[in-house]
Amino acid sequence: MAVRVGMGFDVHAFSDEPGRRLVLGGVEVDGERGLAGHSDADVVAHAVGDALLGAAGLGDLGEHFPDSDPAWAGADSLALLRRVAEMVSAAGWRPANVDCTVVAEQPRLAPHRAEMQQRLGAAVGAPVSVKATTAEQLGALGRGEGVACWAVALVES
């Protein structure tokens, strides 16, 4: 059996667009300002997708779902993540697990973490752990200008 590891990262600024939904890990977080982006701007799903693509040697999300393509405008990032999992499988790999860390001053993610892990895991077909931390008020993330996520994926053949 062969194993490979991939790393993913994504960051989005908060949007000034009224009514923009905040979606993190496939979970809509009510009452919070949404993130700016071509799709639903789910930084957690994007980082997980990039980690899986990297582990399988399949490039990155921008290559497969470019923001220059209007077909992906407003796209559901969990649907994109399911497609990534299918691509990884078609390339002969099986996700074993994914671990990710979300960096945000707001919102608090603890109340949403279990649902995020469940939805991401269902899309990936393997366990996904989600952790959260703050940037301790340092830099753009620390000033609450956006949300970032790092992810690491393990795949097996």
Q: Please give the structure tokens belonging to residue 34.
A: 């949404």
**pLDDT for the residue 33:** 94
What DSSP string describes the chain?
Answer: --EEEEEEEEEEEBP-STTPPPEETTEE-TTSPPBPSSS---HHHHHHHHHHHHHHT---HHHHS-TT-GGGTT--HHHHHHHHHHHHHHTT-EEEEEEEEEE-SSS--GGGHHHHHHHHHHHHTS-EEEEEE--TT-HHHHTTSEEEEEEEEEEE-
**pLDDT for the residue 1:** 84
Segment 93-119 mean pLDDT: 97
Read off the pTM. Answer: 0.96
Summary mean pLDDT of the chain: 96
Q: Please give the structure tokens belonging to residue 40.
A: 């639903």
Nearby residues of 30 by Cβ (< 8 Å), 6 or more positions away = none
Please confirm whether the linkage preceding 70 is cis (ω < 30° from 0): no
**pLDDT for the residue 43:** 98
- Which of 73-77, 94-98, 119-123 comes out lowest in average pLDDT? 73-77
Q: Rounded distance, CA 44 to CA 78, Å?
A: 10
**pLDDT for the residue 143:** 96
Query: In which band, very low, low, confident or very high, does the pLDDT at 71 lie, cut at 50, 70 and 90?
Result: confident
**pLDDT for the residue 67:** 87
Q: In CATH, what is the architecture of 3-156?
A: 2-Layer Sandwich (3.30)
Segment 105-124 mean pLDDT: 97
* Domain chopping of the chain, boundaries: 3-156
**pLDDT for the residue 137:** 94
